[in-house]
Structure 1
Amino acid sequence: MKKYIITALLSASVISCGVLNTPLSTANQPSLNETQWQLAENVKGKVPTLKVQSGKITGTGGCNNYFGELSTEATTGAFSASKIGSTKMACDSMASESSFFNMLSSVNKYRVVGNTLELYQNGLLLLKFNRIQ
């Protein structure tokens, strides 16, 4: 019985991922230059942030400060964060921070909806931020 429940849950997860992976319109997005964002999710500790300035990103990952390079294309919604580095303090939320950095590195599209920034990988929403400036 337990085996069937686990199989059903896994099947539901696979189906839901397929539903999320629908075509995404990211054409003609506003420029992200000179903007600041805060992760929309409730997290323990400091809330991760994203600040965009002239091809560079900075912020906090929830524990450590980070920095990196950013390439965006407003007409297509392309987004590519690279060369992400951070300070090396140890905190309780290291696993969450590591996941945040991995997701940020995986993003290839962005979409701005009002005061919300959505970051996607191939149509799958990875991170959602609220504008703070």
Structure 2
Amino acid sequence: MKKTVINNSDLHFEHKQWDSELAFWNDELKSFKNRLSELVTRWTDKDVLAQLEHYQNEFILHGNVIADLQETIEKHEMNISHHSDEGHESMDISMVNTHTDLREKMETQRQIYADLKKEFFQFLSKYM
């Protein structure tokens, strides 16, 4: 049975990718919230306003998920750094499992966010 070695540098690289993606999502959310502000001033229809509130809530929730993911990545990065400081350049099983769980959370959130954006853009094309 071949033993797979996962190097800290590989995990660090993936963390950097995730950090960039999360920062991009945060920037997008700011522009989406600005778009909502514009629409609130244009519409008085209760159905449209209810949809605007729905998206506002979704964007707040997604912002919270982003913050949680950023914090989790930072903690994991600190664990990797501490591990490296002790002279270990590869991960133990629990750290790899933590990283794998984090990767799955990112993949899930990526899909949720893509669906939300698609829905929001359809809404905008209707009401802008």
Query: Could you state the TM-score of these two structures normalised by the residue count of structure 1?
Result: 0.29
The structure number with the bigger radius of gyration is: 2
Give the TM-score taking structure 2 as reference length.
Answer: 0.30
Higher helix share: 2
